[in-house]
A and B are shown apart, each in its own frame.
Chain A
Amino acid sequence: MAEAKAEEQQQQGEADGSDGASAPAEEDRSPEERLPVDPGEHHELPDREHCEEILRKMLLIRRFEERAGEMYTKAQIGGFLHLAIGEEAAIVGATLAMRESDYLISTYREHGQALARGTDPKRVMAELFGRQDGVSKGHGGSMHLFDIEKRFMGGYGIVGGNLPLAVGLGLAADYQETDDAVVCMLGDGAINQGNFGESLNLAALWRLPVVFLVINNQFGMGTAIERASAITDLSKRGDGFGVPGARCNGMDVLDVKDELENALRKAREDRQPQIVEAVTYRFRGHSMADPEEYRSKEEVEEWQRRDPITTFGDRVKHEEVVSQDDIDGFDEDAKSTVEEAVEFATNSPFPELDALYDDLYSYSGEEPGWYVVDERAPETHKGEELKTSSSDAMRELAEAGAAYAKVGDAEERRKRPDPEEGEEQSSGPRDEEGGAH
């Protein structure tokens, strides 16, 4: 859709000044006035099989995220947890437009991306739990999922930090003379990082097959898009770099898929990188530690009326492709998949303490020299020796450190209590040191 519509919106914005510095403060606007959703083109429903796939994927993400949120409040998940509830259409629409051999690289709000690419939900949940069977073996956590098999090239904790990597993936695809393409997801907050301009320029200069998909959920943490970006039509932000853009309705899975298919075709066949903006909304806070004082309940409710799963569900029912019973069945399946994931994660042991230095370096065999210095014990050790050392002091001190995780001794770390018995915690910062990002 979108190019023409987006332009129209932009012109309108210019005419009434709503895009520029004179924009009224966000609290002065009704929810409908804040980035009105363009309904996008009308897309025919795909066949039943595809509708089912879409629904199943969106429901899996929704249920996974909901359950992850619960597990966070039960302190089964640590750190920050960024949920993508509300953004399912953008995630699923985009990934359905991709080939299996295409690369996907994402931000730290990426559980859904991993699931949509087909990563085992069990291993995703285990990573959130910090367990040995997590996709990143407990080294990464919520923000750093990765699955090389599915060419899901990671979540990244630094806003905009994945953009240069996407250019590199595109460069590799080009260099190796494949027709693989890259989808690089970023948020509206990343638009104003220096990386954005650098990466778009380089992708365009070298004609790399990269699609930059801006999942515009309208807030960079708690700062509304119009308070951070002079130009709020983000599909235009590639113009000066030679990266043409289009906007789509991020609440409509078919519109996202269609726009991404177009963009991927141009990127792949014409060697012309693209930017696509999917306008969406996250229904939950930026992270679990977000009191959401920067937006009104009414605004959230307004967007919830555009819930991507409900609207798509209503449509498939209306057009009698899928029935309510079917949808209920998909939902039950999603819930039980997520339950299995929680059970798996719960039963997965914490990593052994001597995995601390695993995967830091690649060693080719007999390595001279000290790669890692371990200064936790009175004597200095090579860190790698944690695995092989007979030093009781080192081992004891590793155990002493791990005890601060309050999950008991080595035996108990391998045998976790039922999460349902965990204590309910507030959704605010965990402790005084805990930030809220």
Chain B
Amino acid sequence: MAEMRYREALNQALREELEADENVFIMGEDIGVFQGAFKVTDGLLEDFGEKRVRDTPISENTIVGAGVGAAMAGLRPIVEIMTINFSLLALDQIINAAASVRYMFGGQVGVPMVIRMPQGGGHQLGPTHSHCFEAIYLHIPGLLVAVPTTAADAKGLLKAAVRDENPVIFIEHEGLYGKKGDVPENGDASPMRFGEAAIRREGDDVTIVGISRQALTAAEAAETLADEHEIEAEVIDPRTLRPLDLDTIVESVKKTNRAVIVEEGWPHGGVGANLAALIQEQAFDHLDAPVGRVTGADTPMPYSKPLEQAAMPHPEHVVKTVLSTFRDL
């Protein structure tokens, strides 16, 4: 184990996978000479050269499409989109090509590629640079979706993503890049499996599922609930949304009889909406209260600092929503 930042863990994963397989290469805007808008690709151009670490023009749709074509011909591309907001320009290639190729061509060819991108608000970047779109990608059959929260998960899941035969939307969080955590070292020991949730905190009273950075918000809220309200929350970080470790979540809800889902994205059609539906389908008889949700505000992200913070979920929102599930007892 070594302590390092989330961005360093990602960098280490990229480095190890580039070393492990000649067919792995990285491309994206400003990832080479500039070393990444968030410095995730720091030093990679120097160490691996221009063939493996490729700066691209600002052409999101074509960068993704070129990755799909290269993957269909046997390479294992890792495409970096500077932020998830720009990935909207690439939705055609992500949905109509990456997600569909294996299925629509009867399995003759696959698309083993990773599309990495950070999301999230909190940096006063306003309505076009702050959103969380994991729900959009979760919506698409054919894609896998990872939302790592810790440095260790960032590394382990990125390595697993590169080795997966399916196209993976790998969603990082701008607010997590600087967070430190213990990370297993040395290549092969550390890839993780998709579809395995982490139970961050055990508890018997309520299940809180936190998505992406909101797994941390959930954990913080859980401490307050224990300290101030004598409520022991079980905090689950699904780590990947597709495949989803629904079994772990449902097991937990069967134990606690209450569930609250926390996400930074929008409420309508959100990850929480989906998860609430699945939980009530699978564990209706075990629920003592409606499934609660905490989401970002149902607006484009405002710029002004107080407004922006008001639009985002915080531990206080989670505590309130959890308490509401106990209201009638």
Contact = CB atoms under 8 A, between A and B. Distances in A.
Nearest to B51: A175
B259 interface: no
Interface in A100-144: 103, 105, 134-140, 144
B125 interface: no
Interface stretch (B64-72, B207-215, B220-228): B64-72
B195 A360 contact: no
Nearest to B105: A146
Residue with the greatest number of chain A CB neighbours at <10 A, chosen from B103, B165, B242: B103
A103 B73 contact: yes
Contacts of A163: 62, 65
A25 interface: no
B106 A153 contact: no
Interface size class of B (residues with CB under 8 A): 35 or more
A361 to B, nearest CB: 5
B244 interface: yes
Given A140-B106, A165-B66, A171-B69, A205 B141 contact: no
B166 A368 contact: no
Given A369-B243, A380-B282, A362 B110 contact: yes
A153 B72 contact: yes
Given A136-B104, A172-B69, A201-B57, A157 B96 contact: yes
Contacts of B307: none
A251 interface: no
A202 interface: yes
Contact of A380 (B65, B109, B281): B281
Interface in A197-233: 198-199, 201-202, 205-206
A9 to B, nearest CB: 30
Interface SS, A side: loop
A164 B106 contact: no
Contacts of A105: 69
Contacts of B108: 135-136, 146-148
A253 B72 CA distance: 30
A175 B25 contact: yes
**Residue among A154, A165, A205, A364 facing the most chain B CB atoms (10 A cut-off):** A165
Interface string B48-92: 000100101101011111111111111101000000000000001
15 contacts: A138-B106, A139-B105, A164-B69, A165-B66, A165-B97, A168-B67, A168-B72, A171-B69, A171-B75, A172-B74, A195-B65, A201-B59, A202-B56, A368-B193, A369-B242
Interface of A: 103, 105, 134-140, 144, 146-148, 153-154, 156-158, 161, 163-173, 175-176, 194-195, 198-199, 201-202, 205-206, 358-362, 364, 367-373, 379-380
Given A201-B59, A369-B243, 8 more contacts: A139-B106, A161-B92, A164-B61, A164-B65, A175-B70, A175-B75, A370-B244, A380-B282
